[in-house]
């Protein structure tokens, strides 16, 4: 029986008594204990009717059992669909309707709200040990016949927002995830001697696949934190070898006088991604710690695409070379023709890392994934003679705040639905902590008398907190170019300061 991800990430640890995960309460779970827990949860999923190919929607807190649930989804052959815990009921409803999961796993505290809304089977997980899934798993058998899954079968469905305002479910196969985990583990020389500080959320590519799949592949240890905490990360650095984070982690750590060369002497690697790392952060971090942060670049649809080298120069402001097995070209955004080194164009990527398409959106898939296998990222970049990629901008209208992607169109649609609003333009301005912060310019209908609180009161219940505009600016008209397109750069220049 073959199951591509199970065979590579989980099966090798059945008899591995080395420590795998140290949690916030100090408990240490061995690899063998974790595999047993995976198997118990796999039995619960199967008992709940989950079959190979079924989708499991998970909006659950970050703790050890949630990673075991991910493993159990792999073992049962299901497709794992994790969601940001900040998503509101309205957002969750969209994902559930689009993905049609056969099972929803939610936080115990959300059970009554979610059970009243969906007819799907619901199980609950509580980080305090409560929850129906936890209780059933405690009693379940620790033997399970692993479902057959080939490398092209789907393993995960991750939603990424779109320029149209509707989130798109990126379908990721076993091969997509495993090939990328292998490339990163090799390149970053991750081994069973490593101990990773894991402070990222586990509902995105960075915290789930980049961090956990490489850890499992290498048999490394992980210090598993429920969330980023500056004090906890500082305390763990002397006991660890690696940290993976978004730039906000690094700017926050840099503000801390405890971050010194001595503190970081035992660290091997600091990785940054998900948002641009400022060159000044890179330089300041090296001055404070003696470590050059390794910046890499990726997307939900493609996993990781490029990385600065582990051995060799890590250059601030560049995201490095295409990963082994991954091709990156810079193309003319109009014609799609490849451009020579030094010219700015669209970053396109091809390889085993590239997803299988968007669920229920064949047209969107055709627009972004070429027949020749290249995926059009929407990021603008330039390649140097020696193949290093630098990202210079984005063709897509996107704000990245603290590593979370926010698509203005989604927020504009919600604001425009407020009675009395004629139109709006949502844009990002730079923010010292989060990199970018969300503002909304609003045009009211003639005679309307809405203020910012009235708009926020209607918008906020529908959108996760990190998407909320931090300010509403009332204007008479939006700046537009001769084609009628809103000039967000003009708004950014006007309000950026
Ligand atoms: C929290 N808040 C935010 C964000 N996070 N607002 C905007 N943007 C955010 N990212 C809100 C909180 O709800 C809170 O609201 C207020 O801001 C202050 O929260 P604070 O306690 O300071 O924040 P935090 O809880 O410490 O979180 C900041 C964080 C977190 C640690 C940077 O956002 C985070 O873990 N980000 C990582 C995201 C990530 O994993 N991205 C990878 C995507 P209130 O005002 O109500 O108090 S995968 C990806 O992008 C690709 C594939 C890739 O290449 O990796
Ligand atoms: P997501 O939608 O979460 O998959 O985010 C992917 C986007 O994050 C990419 O298309 C880039 O715009 C951005 N991104 C990821 N890593 C980096 C990086 N190192 N530098 C700049 N942007 C990045």
pLDDT digits (tens, 9 = 90+) for 297-348: 999 999 999 999 999 999 999 999 999 999 999 999 989 999 999 999 999 9
Residue closest to 161 by CA, chosen among 213, 87, 102, 228: 87
Pairing of strands 471-474, 435-444: parallel
Task: Give 472's DSSP letter.
Answer: E
Q: E-strand spans in 71-167?
A: 79-82, 103-107, 121-125, 154-160
Task: Give 46's DSSP letter.
Answer: H
Ligand 2 pocket, residue 274 CB under 6 Å: yes
- CA gyration radius for the chain? 23
Q: Which two tokens stand for residue 141?
A: 């058998």
Q: Which two tokens stand for residue 254?
A: 């840099």
Among protein residues, the one with the nearest Cα to ligand 1's atom 46 is: 465
SS (H, E, C) 348-399: EEEECCCCCCECCCHHHHHHHECCCCCEEEEEEEEECCCCCEEEEEECCCCE
Ligand 2 pocket, residue 297 CB under 6 Å: yes
* CA 137 to centroid of ligand 2, rounded, Å: 37
* CA 178 to centroid of ligand 1, rounded, Å: 27
Cα angle for residues 117, 458, 428 (degrees, 5° grid): 110
Mutate to test the pocket of ligand 1, among 394, 402, 428, 460 (most ligand atoms within 8 A of CB): 402
The rounded distance, in Å, linking the Cα atoms of 276 and 70 is: 29
* CA 378 to centroid of ligand 2, rounded, Å: 10
pLDDT value for 422: 96
Ligand 2 pocket, residue 405 CB under 6 Å: yes
Q: Which ligand is nearest to the CA of 431?
A: 1
Among protein residues, the one with the nearest Cα to ligand 2's atom 8 is: 274
**How far from each other are the two terminal CA atoms of the chain, in whole angstroms?**
60
The rounded distance, in Å, linking the Cα atoms of 472 and 443 is: 10
Ligand 2 pocket, residue 391 CB under 6 Å: yes
Residue closest to 350 by CA, chosen among 361, 336, 335: 336
Residues of the chain where predicted confidence (pLDDT) is lower than 50: none
The rounded distance, in Å, linking the Cα atoms of 206 and 280 is: 23
Ligand 2 pocket, residue 98 CB under 6 Å: no
């Amino acid at each position: 029986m073959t199951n591509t991800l199970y065979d590579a990430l989980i099966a090798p640890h059945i008899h591995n008594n080395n420590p795998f995960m140290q949690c916030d309460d100090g408990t240490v779970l061995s690899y063998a204990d974790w595999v047993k827990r995976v198997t118990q949860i796999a039995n619960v999923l199967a008992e709940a009717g989950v079959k190979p190919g079924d989708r499991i929607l998970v909006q659950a807190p970050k703790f050890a059992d949630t990673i075991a649930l991910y493993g159990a989804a792999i073992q049962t052959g299901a497709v794992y669909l994790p969601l940001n815990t900040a998503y509101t009921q309205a957002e969750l409803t969209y994902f559930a309707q689009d993905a049609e999961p056969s099972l929803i796993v939610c936080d115990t505290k959300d059970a009554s709200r979610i059970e009243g809304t969906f007819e799907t089977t619901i199980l609950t997980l509580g980080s305090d040990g409560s929850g129906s899934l936890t209780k059933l798993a405690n009693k379940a058998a620790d033997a399970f016949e692993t479902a057959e899954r080939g490398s092209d079968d789907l393993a995960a469905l991750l939603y990424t927002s779109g320029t149209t305002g509707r989130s798109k479910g990126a379908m990721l196969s076993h091969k997509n995830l495993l090939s990328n985990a292998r490339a990163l583990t090799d390149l970053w020389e991750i081994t069973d001697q490593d101990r990773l500080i894991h402070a990222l959320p586990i509902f995105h590519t960075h915290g789930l696949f980049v961090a956990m799949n490489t850890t499992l592949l290498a048999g490394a240890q992980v210090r598993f934190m429920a969330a980023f905490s500056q004090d906890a990360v500082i305390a763990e650095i002397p006991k660890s070898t690696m940290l993976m984070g978004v730039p906000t982690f690094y700017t926050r750590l840099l503000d801390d006088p405890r971050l010194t060369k001595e503190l970081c002497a035992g660290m091997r690697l600091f990785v940054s991604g998900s948002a641009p790392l400022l060159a000044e952060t890179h330089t300041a971090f090296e001055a404070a710690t003696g470590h050059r942060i390794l910046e890499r670049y990726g997307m939900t649809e493609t996993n990781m695409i490029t990385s600065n080298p582990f051995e060799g120069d890590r250059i601030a402001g560049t995201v490095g070379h295409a990963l082994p097995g991954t091709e990156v070209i810079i193309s003319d955004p109009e014609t799609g023709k490849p451009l020579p080194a030094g010219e700015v164009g669209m970053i396109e990527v091809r390889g085993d890392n590239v997803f299988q398409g968007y669920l229920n959106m064949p047209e969107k898939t055709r627009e972004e994934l070429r027949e020749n296998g290249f995926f059009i990222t929407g990021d603008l970049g330039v390649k140097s003679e020696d193949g290093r990629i630098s990202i210079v901008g984005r063709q897509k209208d996107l704000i990245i705040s603290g590593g979370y992607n926010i698509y203005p169109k989604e927020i504009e649609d919600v604001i425009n639905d407020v009675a009395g609003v004629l139109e709006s333009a949502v844009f990002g301005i730079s923010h010292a902590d989060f990199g970018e912060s969300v503002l909304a310019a609003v045009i009211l209908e003639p005679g309307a008398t809405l203020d910012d609180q009235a708009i926020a009161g209607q918008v906020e219940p529908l959108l996760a907190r990190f998407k909320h505009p931090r300010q509403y600016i009332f204007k008479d008209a939006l700046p537009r170019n001769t084609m009628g397109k809103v000039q967000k750069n003009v708004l950014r220049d006007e309000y950026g300061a």
